[in-house]
Amino acid sequence: MRRNILNDLDSTTWLKFQKSWFVHNPPPRKKGVLLHPAKFPETLVQEFIEFFTKKGMNVLDPMVGTGSALIACLRAGRNGYGIELVDNYAGIAKRRIRTEQTSQGLFPQKVKSEVIVGDARDIGKFDLPQMDYCITSPPYWDMLRMKGARTQKEREQAGLDVWYSDDARDLGNIADYDSFLENLVTIYRGVFQCLRDKAYMTVIVKNVKKKSRVYPLAWDIGRELGKFFTLKDEKIWCQDNQRLGPWGLGSAWVSNTFHHYCLNFRKEP
C-alpha cells in the first residue's frame, strides 16, 4: 500500500473494515454506565476511530453521554473531546475517564480527554481545537418516551433511566419530528465548522417506528447533512443476539429491527 495518510492500519485491516456490513454484539454494560438508556459500545467506536484517524489526532463526540467515544479515544491514543447536556451523564463520563487512565498504569496514553457540560448547539462557544474526526449517535427522536415499550418497562422496574432528561433543551424531548430533525442538523452544522478539511464524520443511527409509521431518520440525516457534508457511504451494524418479538404476528408486517446505519460523511475542501 502506498503511504497511508488516513490512519495507522495495515492493508489487511484496512480492507476488512471496508466491508459494508458487520456484526457487533457488545459486551454487557457495567453498572455505572447502564444508567444511560442508549449507550453505544466502546469496542465498536474504537474501530471507527482507528480507521479514520492517526494516533494523537483530535476526535469529537457532540453528544457524548457517559463517554464511550472518549474511552475509545484513550485506548486508541487519540485526543477525545465530548459535549454532554446532562450533568449526571457528564459526571459519569469524567469518572470513567479517570478509571481508564488509572487502569493504563505506568504507561498511560499521553492524550487529552475533555468533557464539556453544555448544549451541543452552542459548540462554537466552547473554544475547541480543530477536529480530525467526529463520531456520534443522536437521540432517536423522542422514542425513549414511548409508553408500553418492553425495554422501557424493564428499565423502569430496575430503577434505571428511561429517558435522557426532562431538560427542555434535550433533543429527545422534542415531540415534533421536523423540529427535532432541524435541531439535530444545527448541531451537525456546528460540527462541520470544527472539522478540518478532508476530515470525516460518522453518525450511528437507525430509522424509527412510531404509532405504526416508520420515520426514515437515518435517510433524512443523510439527505440533510449531504447539503453541506459529502455523504461517502454507509456501514450497516448488525446485531444477531437480540430477542425476537412477535410484533404483528398473524396480521401484519412489523420487523424486528436489529441493525443501525453508520453514515460516513466527509468535509470536502
Q: What is the pLDDT of residues 176-205, one digit of tens each?
A: 999 999 999 999 999 999 999 999 999 999
Over the stretch 247-259, which tens digit does the pLDDT of each residue have?
A: 889 999 888 999 9
Residue with cell 412510531: 210
Closest alpha carbon to 139 in 254, 22, 217: 217
Q: Which domains does the chain have, with CATH numbers?
A: 36-140+180-240+252-266 (3.40.50.150)
Percent of the chain topping pLDDT 70: 85
Q: Are 39 and 16 in contact (CB under 8 A)?
A: no
Which pTM value belongs to this model? 0.89
Q: Which residue is associated with the grid cell 485526543?
A: 79
Q: Are 45 and 135 in contact, with CB atoms under 8 Å apart?
A: yes
Helix, strand, coil percentages, rounded to 5, for the chain: 35, 20, 45
For residues 260 and 189, the answer to whether their CB atoms sit within 8 Å is no
Cα of 160 vs its chain's centroid, Å? 20
pLDDT of 36 = 41
pLDDT over 70 at 39, yes or no: no
Least confident of 96-100, 119-123, 181-185: 96-100
pLDDT of residue 181: 96
| Mean pLDDT along residues 75-88 | 95
- Rg from Cα positions in the chain: 18
> What is the dihedral angle through the alpha carbons of 262, 149, 34, 160, rounded to the nearest 10 degrees?
150
pLDDT of residue 150: 55
What pLDDT is stored for residue 33 in this prediction? Answer: 46
The pLDDT value recorded for residue 106 is 61
Average pLDDT over residues 49-68: 96
At residue 76, the pLDDT reads 96
Confidence of residue 30 (pLDDT cuts 50, 70, 90): low
Kindly state the average pLDDT of the residues 222-245: 94
Strand 79-84 to 113-117 pairing: parallel
Q: Give the pLDDT of residue 2.
A: 74
